Chain A
Amino acid sequence: MTVLADPTPTAAPRDRIGVVEWLRTRLFSSVGNTILTLATILLLWFALPPIANWFVFDAVWWAAPPEVCRAAQGACWAMIHEKHRLIIFGRYPYAEHWRPLIAMLVLIGLIGASTHRPFWRRELFAAWGAGLLVMAVLMWGGIFGLTFVETTLWGGLPLTLILTTVGIAVAFPWGVLLALGRQSQMPIIRTLSIVYIELIRGVPLISLLFMASFMFPLFMPSGVQISSLLRAQVAIILFAGAYLAEVVRGGLQAVPRGQVEAARSLGLGYWPTMWKIVLPQAIRMVIPGIVNSFISTFKDTSLVAIVSLTDLMLAARQAVGDPEWRAFGIEGYVFIGLIYLIFCYLMSRYSQRLEVQLNTGRKR
């Protein structure tokens, strides 16, 4: 009979842990993988230094006249230094820039607070109401000794954020109604909802914005003027509503039929059934989808630049349109690209985390 010796614990072999093992399994696990790694490194070796030089080492980092930039090899961040107020606030009166700044911070604070699940209570709606009121007072002015600022002068990042937030806030109830209409038993209402949703989803946003800027004035009784900001906002709401309707429909379809049947057998009518039983479950399931719609709308608002609204996009275009700084358009685009990227990236990470927390993505 063999007697097994007591196993004496030994440390893992040196090449099985640490950096060597990390490199071996992740970069050089096979011949093919090694070739792939080397080819990638070679590619980066050629691509990265010029990009890094342009971005960092040869760039003009501090305030400097355009001549200095023209002499330099790299990026001209001096242009951003010179124009950042114009890019971020558009044509809003220079002395009053603190107002859109505070309005923007309030809005970002509200969005940030809304991402905290402990805050998902009725008081949040009140906070939003109060916040939007403060923003409206700050942006328009006209009371409390603030000078009145027309909407035609609003611009930059605050405008982009306002278009997005107001757009989603109004489009959301509209989308819920459309989604309910699409699921309805009533043929006329269902048909109207389907036609609206498919019509809007079938055309590009820019055609709706064209419609808003060229056709809405014709729709109004003569003598009635609506500002171009409001027209673009309406187009964004009409557009986002159709997409949100499809998101909400996904949630409605995922609520088990038994829930509706149980509610009806308890004697609840249609609206109480929807309001108390179905919608709370459906909307909870599609919150990640709603956040994604928010991200899309945030990116889509850049299209209002084509119909001459000075949002972040057009403000940057106007900044690089200055003959002095015309050669440095790429820097301007990189700058606002980073702004868009940071906002969208944070929101999309939030949406992914939420998806895991609510466990809706994994469910089949």
Chain B
Amino acid sequence: MTTFQDPVVPDKPPRVPLWNNPAVRAWVYQIVVMGLVIALAIYLVNNTLTNLSERSIRTGFDFLDREAGFRMGESIIPIEPSDSFGRALFAGFLNTLKVSLLSIVLCTVLGVLIGIARLSHNWLVQKIATFYVETLRNIPILLQLFFWYAVITGTFPNSQEAWKPLPGVFISKSGVLHAVPVADPAHVWIGLALLMGIVATVVYGRWVRRQQRDTGRRPPMLWPALGFLLGLPLLVFFAYGAPLAWDLPVMGRFRFTGGQEITPEFLALWLGLSFYTAAFVAEVVRGGIQAVDWGQSEAAGALGLRRGLVLRLVVLPQALRVIIPPTTNQYLNLTKNSSLAVAVGYPELTSVTDTTLNQTGQAVECITIMMAIYLAISLSISAGMNVYNRIVQIPDKR
């Protein structure tokens, strides 16, 4: 009979050499990589400092307080050539925000319309939308900016023969001039009335929804809402005796005076960015709507909802969750693409940085400031959109 021997159990685990221990290896790798990165950084900084002193280029950020000496084409805040570089860069930053925000609004409107048109049952509309998307997104944005700028400055009429599509609006080679209302103290009160109207509409809307839930009947919504939104401000407007004077652009001997000017540079940038990004937003919208299961629409239809209500109450809320993250990405891209304004000469952050860099020669500082600002804009947009995304996400979705 065979007896089994007790297996020999070693009293301690076998010694693993230090260089085979995964944890130790991981740290060695990381320290080596970190060391290489630091060495590279030191090497580059060292070279840079040597080069800067050899070429006797100044360092530090004190140039921000020095007089800029260049004229900016347009700005939201008042700015003179005698103002500092710092203020010029700030004005450029505001221009970046201005053109980005206005382009985001236009590209969203266009993108949603074109995205829906691409899903249209109407053959003609669908083909035109497809043509738009395939053309616009396959041509570099820089080329489109040059193109629009060339169209505006090359084919639009001189300011003497400007087009007048609406009273008080003049379109010419030198941009668009439009009338603006002359400021009046009453306007503040009208604005407040509008704000009150919006609040009242929201409150009333909640009450309507509660009524519908409790009684099954829906009180009228459209007319009271219009009353709040239009009636209140109009009431205040007439109570003040309708103070509305227009600052009209008037053709002088050589050029227009008065009114508000939209420069060709801004126009080219705004239209170019909006048209280009709209093609991408349209694809996102189309994808989002298609991602909603067809059964959802059928079920809603079977419950007796009309087509518009199906879209508004069933399809869009679900599509929105798919649409928002990639749309944020497009907004970020648009903001970064606004840096191409340097090519058409609209004075936003990049082109002001370019000018500052050429005047001061302090490339490192200028590019660092510019990158830091773009990074801050990018991070804040994505942070804001993440918060919004969390709100609209289905709570129990895994």
Residues of chain A whose beta carbon lies under 8 Å from any beta carbon of chain B: 26-27, 29, 33, 36-37, 40-41, 185-189, 192, 199, 201-207, 210-211, 214-215, 217-222, 295, 299-300, 302-303, 305-306, 313, 317, 327, 329-330, 333-334, 336-337, 340-341, 344-345, 348
Contact = CB atoms under 8 A, between A and B. Distances in A.
Given A40-B128, A206-B339, A329-B150, A218 B139 contact: no
Interface stretch (B72-80, B177-185, B254-262, B368-376): B368-376
B389 interface: no
Interface string B330-369: 0000001101101100000010011001000001100100
B139 A40 contact: no
B142 interface: yes
A244 B350 CA distance: 25
A306 B47 CA distance: 26
A26 B123 contact: yes
B337 A204 contact: yes
B141 interface: yes
Contacts of B3: none
B378 interface: yes
A64 to B, nearest CB: 19
Interface of B is mostly: helix
A113 B29 CA distance: 39
Interface string B25-51: 010011101100100000010011011
Nearest to B362: A214
Contacts of B125: 36-37, 40
B120 to A, nearest CB: 8
Given A220-B47, A302-B140, A337 B147 contact: yes
B311 to A, nearest CB: 14
B138 interface: yes
B11 interface: no
A203 B363 contact: no
B155 A330 contact: yes
Interface in B77-101: none
Q: Closest 10 interchain pairs by CB?
A: A344-B138, A26-B123, A214-B363, A204-B336, A202-B378, A302-B140, A204-B339, A299-B140, A188-B30, A202-B375
A30 B86 CA distance: 60
B298 interface: no
Given A186-B30, A217-B51, A345-B138, 10 more contacts: A29-B121, A37-B124, A207-B370, A220-B47, A221-B50, A303-B340, A306-B142, A333-B147, A337-B147, A348-B138
A218 B47 contact: yes
A312 to B, nearest CB: 9
A35 B120 CA distance: 14
B47 A219 contact: yes
Given A204-B336, A210-B354, A214-B363, A341 B121 contact: no
A238 B383 CA distance: 25
A303 B122 contact: no
Contacts of A341: 135, 138-139
17 contacts: A207-B367, A207-B370, A218-B47, A218-B364, A219-B44, A221-B47, A222-B54, A299-B140, A299-B141, A305-B142, A306-B142, A306-B343, A313-B142, A330-B154, A340-B140, A341-B139, A344-B139
Interface residues of B, number: 54
B143 interface: yes
Given A202-B379, A215-B367, A299-B141, A222 B50 contact: yes
B52 interface: yes
A337 B134 CA distance: 13
B143 A313 contact: yes
A89 B138 CA distance: 22
Contacts of A215: 48, 363-364, 367
Given A218-B47, A222-B51, A330 B375 contact: no
Contacts of A37: 122, 124-125
A214 B367 contact: yes
A53 B155 CA distance: 15
A218 B48 CA distance: 5
Contacts of A203: 336, 371, 374-375, 378
Given A204-B336, A207-B371, A329 B154 contact: yes
A188 B33 contact: yes
Given A202-B375, A204-B336, A330-B155, A340 B367 contact: no
B121 A33 contact: yes
B123 A27 contact: yes
B122 A306 contact: no
Contacts of B151: 330
